[in-house]
Amino acid sequence: MVEKVHPVVFSHDFFDGHEQVVFCHDEETGLKAIIGIHSTVLGPALGGTRMWPYESESAALWDVLRLSRGMTFKASLAGLNLGGGKAVIIADSRKDKTPEMMRAFGRFVNSLSGKYITAEDVGIKEDDIRYVKEETDFVTGIPTEMGGSGDPSPVTAYGVFVGIKAAARYKWGSEELKGRKVLVQGVGNVGLTLVKYLSEAGAEVWVQDVYPEKIREAEEKYNARAYTGHFADAEVDIYSPCALGATLDEQTIPALKCSIVAGAANNQLADETHHSRMIQQRGILYCPDFLINAGGLINVYSEIAHYDRAEALRRTENIYHTLLDVITLSEKTGITTHQAAYLKAKERIENHKKIPV
């Protein structure tokens, strides 16, 4: 008999005070989704929906709890009046996704009456969001022709690029990237635009992806080169994780050859406390993911706060100074950059709680 391992929720390692976790099932469309609402202290919990063929329900729960918690701190650090939430759909976006499934998901989002607002993430594109929008108004990242702010990925990529420049300034005394070697892991929505910015800045860009056509696109459009080895062995100045999270762990950190880690992927550290310390001890500058990948969130927030893309890009440029502030705090106190970013984000949330209602 196969022994089943039941996922725990309230006592999960990453539960961390989640306000609500919603399990969604729609028999007709095969939808299986989990919505995590970590905090609504600063505002409605906004965060994208990821579609991924998780190997187990526990893996999906683990991912959504880590992601939604990260959104709380991302919104806070970016100075937005938003809480943190995220959703995952257990499915393969290349095979299983249907308009009906996206509509069913939209109905679940609608049932939360605005406590959770969704958007795109891995495996979910603008076109899918159209179907969600048919069922709920609590969705952002909607196509521009429907009055939305469009795909947030280019703004996310811009924020990561700005963060890389700030990191270079701290590490090498100049934000100049000409001739710097960068490995971009994952050349999807965000990664490909980041490759564009980096090659325009004169960097030598190497790329990795599980899909050969993505690599070819980066090679053809932006003169990038394919990297076929293990990312940790790459002899580069900057490693930019732009695929999935948890690539930085016990095995990979000791092998890293780079001076800076700065990428868009959420939850890059397998164990935030332990692995941010390991990276620091290796003398590698880790740019906290939830700080430098906030551009997309700043862009979708424009649909709520009513500003245009130019303003979203301008606000995204603040990432440069926020990162330098975080690095300074880390240097002064000896805590890791990850802890410093987390402290600053938490401080804003705690201060907000003290405001009398």
Ligand X SMILES: NC(=O)c1ccc[n+]([C@@H]2O[C@H](COP(=O)([O-])OP(=O)(O)OC[C@H]3O[C@@H](n4cnc5c(N)ncnc54)[C@H](O)[C@@H]3O)[C@@H](O)[C@H]2O)c1
Q: Are 167 and 287 in contact (CB under 8 A)?
A: yes
Going from the C-alpha of 141 to that of each of 48, 147, 259, 262, the distances in angstroms are 9, 10, 34, 24
Per-residue contact string for residues 338-357; x = within reach of ligand X by CB under 6 A = --------------------
Decide if 86 is catalytic. Answer: yes
Catalytic residue among 32, 74, 86, 181: 86
Told to check if 49 binds ligand X by CB under 6 A, we report no
Residue from 89, 91, 129, 242 touching ligand X (CB under 6 A): that is 242
Told to check if 46 binds ligand X by CB under 6 A, we report no
Task: Please list, in sequence order, all residues whose beta carbon lies within 8 angstroms of the beta carbon of residue 8, skipping any fewer than 6 positions away.
Answer: none
Residues 105-124 touching ligand X, rule: CB under 6 A, are 120-123
Residue that has been written with the tokens 């701290």 in this structure:
170
Per-residue contact string for residues 55-94; x = within reach of ligand X by CB under 6 A = ----------------------------------------
Decide whether 93 or 111 has the Cβ nearer to ligand X.
93
Told to check if 208 binds ligand X by CB under 6 A, we report yes
Residue 161 structure tokens? 């690029």
Binding site listing for NAD(+): 186-191
Tell me how many residues contact ligand X (CB under 6 A).
Answer: 28
Q: How far is CA 62 from the centre of its chain?
A: 15
Q: Which stretch binds ligand X (CB under 6 A): 26-34, 57-65, 97-105, 259-267?
A: 259-267
What does the buried/exposed string (b/e) look like for 109-130 if buried means 16 or more CB atoms within 10 Å of the residue's CB? bbebeebbbbbbbbbbebebbb
Residue from 185, 276, 330, 339 touching ligand X (CB under 6 A): that is 185
Going from the C-alpha of 31 to that of each of 108, 122, 157, 226, 342, the distances in angstroms are 10, 17, 30, 36, 34
Told to check if 296 binds ligand X by CB under 6 A, we report yes
Told to check if 244 binds ligand X by CB under 6 A, we report yes
Cα 165 from Cα 90, distance rounded (Å): 36
Residue from 49, 293, 336, 339 touching ligand X (CB under 6 A): that is 293
Q: Are 63 and 54 in contact (CB under 8 A)?
A: yes
Q: Which residues are known catalytic residues?
A: 86
List interacting residues with ligand X (CB under 6 A). Answer: 120-123, 152-153, 156, 185-191, 208-211, 214, 242-245, 264-266, 293, 296
